[in-house]
Structure 1
Amino acid sequence: MRRLLVGILFASLTVAAPAAAADPVATAAPGDVVTSRSVNAPGFFYARTWLITYASTSATGTPITVSGTVVVPYGADADTPVIGYAPGTHGLGDQCAPSRHLEAGDETEGLLIHQYATRGYAVVVTDYEGIGTPGEHTYIAGRAEGNATLDAVRAALRLPGTGLSPSTDVAIVGYSQGGHAAGWAAQLAPTYAPELTIAAYAVGAPPANLKTVAEHNDGGENVGLVMAAGFGMDVTYPELDLAPYLNDAGRAAFADIRDDCTDELAKYAGHSMADYTTEDVLARPEWSARVDEQNLGGAIPRAPVLLYHSNGDEILPVGVSVGLRSDWCAGGADVTFWRTDTGAHFTTAALMSPAVTGWVADRLAGRPAAGNC
C-alpha cells in the first residue's frame, strides 16, 4: 500500500550521489560546510542543487559530520526564505539516506520538497547523523535530530554561491521522524541557534512520547520501528548496553537491523520486543530515563508552531500530539493544532501537505498565526 501511495503521490527526482563525508574539522563550528559539490538535478530544473556535508553536534555533545542537500531556485537573493526540511524515517543504513534516494529517483518525499522549492524558497534537507556519513544512525535521538536540522540551515546560509543572506527568514518543517526533528529544533533553537531568524515550525505527527509509541506498536505491523528506536538509543548512549538483554533471536535481529531501510523493517511485523529480549529494558531505570529524554514538550518554541496529526494514524497515536499541544500551550507557545480526519499515517502526509505549505508561506509572509491553544 505504501509503495502504491508513493508511486501515485510523490515526484521522482534524480541527483548525483553525495560527496564522500569528511571527518569533522577540529576548528569547524556547527553549521560550517565541510564539503560541497554542485550537481545537475533534472528534477530541480528550476534550481541549483548542492550536495554537502556539514559540521553538527551529536546528542551527547560530540562534533559530527552530517550530509544533506541544498536546493536554491534560480533568482534567489538575500530576501529568499530558507526551509529546513526534516525528512521522515528512511531507515538506518547509509543507502537509506534521503540524498541517495534523490539520486535514484525514488525519494518518497520528493513532492513535498518541490512544494516548497517551487514557491521560490530555498530548501535544505538533512540526512541526519549516521546516514550517508560514518557511524551508526542515532535514530529518534531528539537532540541529534534537532541539531542536524538547525545546522543544515546554517550550512545552507554559509554555502558560497547561493545568494542567500544569513539574516533571511527560516521555517523548519517535518513529518513523522521529521516532525520529531522539527519539534526538537523548535525547542533547541533559542539556545543552540539563536542567530537564525525562524518564523515558523510545522510539526507533523511527531512521536512525541516514545514509550506510548512503543506500547502502541509492540506486537503490531510496525514493531520494526520500535526495534529501530531501540537500536538508535543503544548507539546514542553506549552506557545503555543493550547486548546483555538480547536473546539469540535478538542478537541476530539487531545485527541485521543496523543497515535496514524502512520497508525492510516490515519483516518484524507481528513480533513483540519480548521475542528478542530477556527482560523489559524500558523498565530498567537507565533505559527509562534516556527514552524519556527524547520526548517533546520539555521546552517552549519561540516562533509559531503548526502541530498536525490524524485521528486515524495507525503508527503514531494522535494522543501524543494532544499531550504535546497541552505542554507547549501551558508554557505560552503560539500553537495552531490541526487534529484531522485524514486517515492513515502516510496518507495524511500527502493530503495535508498543500495546507501545511500554505500555513508556512503565510508565516514567512509576516501574517500572524491564529493559534488555538
Structure 2
Amino acid sequence: MTRSRKLIPLLALVLVGTTLAAPASAEPAAPTARAGDLVSARAIWAPGFEYARVWKITYRSTSATGASTVVSGTVIVPNGSTGAIVGYGPGTHGLGDQCAPSVGLQRGDEFEGGLIHQYARKGFAVAVTDYEGLGTPGDHTYTAGRSQGNAVLDVVRASTRLSGTGLSPKAPVAVVGYSQGGQTAGWAAEIAPAYAPELNIKGFAVGAAPSDLRRVADANDGGANFGLVLAAGVGLNAAYPELALTNYLNAAGQAAYADIRDDCGSDFGKYANRRLSDYTTTDVLNRPDWSARLAEQNLGTRAPTVPTLMYHSTGDEIIPVSVSVALRPQWCGKGAKLTYWQVDTGGHSQTAAYLSPLVTQWVADRLAGAPAAGNC
C-alpha cells in the first residue's frame, strides 16, 4: 500500500521552481555487466533543481552476499558543474518503495533535499542512491552495511557512465551520509580500495553512523524510536534470508513484520516504547546466526585510506555517541587520517541540519585538493 510521509522540518528546505532536463540515454551495455553499469536512465522533472539536469536511473550493484542486484537512484548535475561528484547516502527513509529518495526528489518533497542542494549549489554533481530494494523489487536491505556501501559507490560509477552528464571516470569524488547514510559512507570508506579502486575518492563524511548495530538496538529497545530496531531486523532478514526472522515471531510480530515492510520512516512511531521481546518467541539477537550477522555490520575492521570526517552529537537520542567514540580509536589505530567532531548540537535530526554547512565545506575543501590535518 502507499502511505503518506510527513516532512522533517529541521531538514526540509523549501524547494522552488521546476525544470525538465534534456533527454539522455544510457551508454550501450558492455558485453559483461559490471557493477555501476546503467540499466535505465531518463531525464526527470525535479522541483527546485531548476539550475541542474536531473536523471532517474537504475544501475547494477552488489548485494551484501555478493549477488548482482539492480538499484535505483538519482543523478543531479548542476549547470556549470565543477566536474566533481558527491556520492550521497541518504538517511532512513523507510522500507516501502514509495519512500525512496528518488520518488521524493521527483515529487519535490524530499526531506533531505536541502542537504543535497548544499552540494549541488557548490557546482558538484550529486549521485544519490535509493539502496537495494528501496524503489526496486524485493525488500529493502536496511542497515546491511556492505550492500549500502556498494550501492553508493556504484551510483557514483553509474553517474560517470551516463550520457550527457560530462562526468569523467577520473573525476574527484567524495562520499557523504548521515545516520543510515553515515553507515553507508563508513562502509564505503572501508571497502572502496578493494571494491572500487578506480574511483578518485578524496574524502568521506560519516555522520552519526550506527557503527555497532547491537549497541544501537539495545539503546532503542523500549524507547521512542524502537520502530527503527524492528525495521533493521526486517532489513537484515532481507539481506540474509537464512536468518529466517519469521520463524521467531509471535502473532504480534508476524503482524508487525507484514505491516512495516511497506512503511516510511514517519510511520515507525506506531512502535514507540515497544520491545523486541513483545514480538518474538526467543531472544533473536543472541542467536549465534543473528549475532554473527549483526557483528558483520560493525565498522572498524578496515581503516579509510583517504581523509575522513566523522561527526556525532552527544545529545543524539537515536544513535548513541558512544558508538563513534569507540570507532575513532579503531580507525585511528589502523592509520586513518580522521577528523573527528564530537559536538553538543542537540538531537539526531537537529545535528544533521545544524552541521550541514560545515560538513559541506569540509567536503568542498577535500574535492579542491586541500589537505586535512586530522585529529587522531
Normalising by structure 2, we get a TM-score of 0.94
Distance 1:8 1:245, change over 3 A: closer
Letter in 2 for 1:45: E
Structure-to-structure mapping, 1:338-357, within 5 angstroms: 338-357=341-360
SS at match of 1:160: coil
Letter in 2 for 1:292: A
Partner Cα distance (2:360, 2:48) in 1: 19
Structure-to-structure mapping, 1:67-86, within 5 angstroms: 67-76=72-81, 80-86=83-89
Partner Cα distance (2:210, 2:10) in 1: 25
Letter in 1 for 2:122: R
Equivalent residues of 1:25, 1:34 under 8 A apart: no
Partner of 2:263: 260
Structure-to-structure mapping, 1:190-339, within 5 angstroms: 190-339=193-342
Distance 1:15 1:99, change over 3 A: farther
Equivalent residues of 2:46, 2:108 under 8 A apart: no
SS at match of 2:204: strand
Distance 1:345 1:3, change over 3 A: farther
How many angstroms does 1:40 deviate by? 3.2
How many angstroms does 1:3 deviate by? 5.7
Partner Cα distance (1:43, 1:154) in 2: 25
Partner of 1:137: 140
Equivalent residues of 2:46, 2:107 under 8 A apart: no
SS at match of 1:339: strand
Q: 1:252-274 CA distances to partner (integer Å, 9 max, x unpaired)?
A: 10011110100111100010000
Structure-to-structure mapping, 1:127-166, within 5 angstroms: 127-166=130-169
Partner Cα distance (1:279, 1:42) in 2: 48
How many angstroms does 1:12 deviate by? 3.2
How many angstroms does 1:102 deviate by? 1.2
Equivalent residues of 2:203, 2:366 under 8 A apart: yes
Q: 1:186-232 CA distances to partner (integer Å, 9 max, x unpaired)?
A: 01100000000000000000000001000000000100000001011
Q: 1:352-373 CA distances to partner (integer Å, 9 max, x unpaired)?
A: 0000001011111111111010
Partner of 2:32: 27
Equivalent residues of 1:5, 1:347 under 8 A apart: no
Partner Cα distance (1:26, 1:133) in 2: 24
Letter in 1 for 2:51: Y
Q: 1:153-202 CA distances to partner (integer Å, 9 max, x unpaired)?
A: 00001111111111010000000000000000001100000000000000
Computed over aligned residues only, the root mean square deviation of the Cα atoms, in angstroms, reads 1.9
Q: Does 1:168 align with 2:171?
A: yes
How many angstroms does 1:10 deviate by? 2.2
Normalising by structure 1, we get a TM-score of 0.94
Distance 1:25 1:241, change over 3 A: farther
How many angstroms does 1:5 deviate by? 5.0
Partner of 2:371: 368
Partner of 1:100: 103
Partner of 1:36: 41
Partner Cα distance (1:203, 1:54) in 2: 24
Q: 1:305-356 CA distances to partner (integer Å, 9 max, x unpaired)?
A: 0000000000000000011111100100000000000000000000000000
Equivalent residues of 1:149, 1:181 under 8 A apart: yes
Letter in 2 for 1:80: G
Letter in 2 for 1:119: K
Partner of 1:21: none
Partner Cα distance (1:280, 1:304) in 2: 40
Letter in 2 for 1:113: I
Partner Cα distance (2:60, 2:30) in 1: 8
2:71 is aligned, of 51, 66, 69, to 66
Equivalent residues of 2:318, 2:348 under 8 A apart: yes
Q: 1:234-269 CA distances to partner (integer Å, 9 max, x unpaired)?
A: 111111111221111001100111101001111000
Q: Does 1:50 align with 2:71?
A: no
Partner Cα distance (1:86, 1:264) in 2: 21
Equivalent residues of 1:12, 1:107 under 8 A apart: no
SS at match of 2:114: helix
Partner Cα distance (2:246, 2:175) in 1: 36
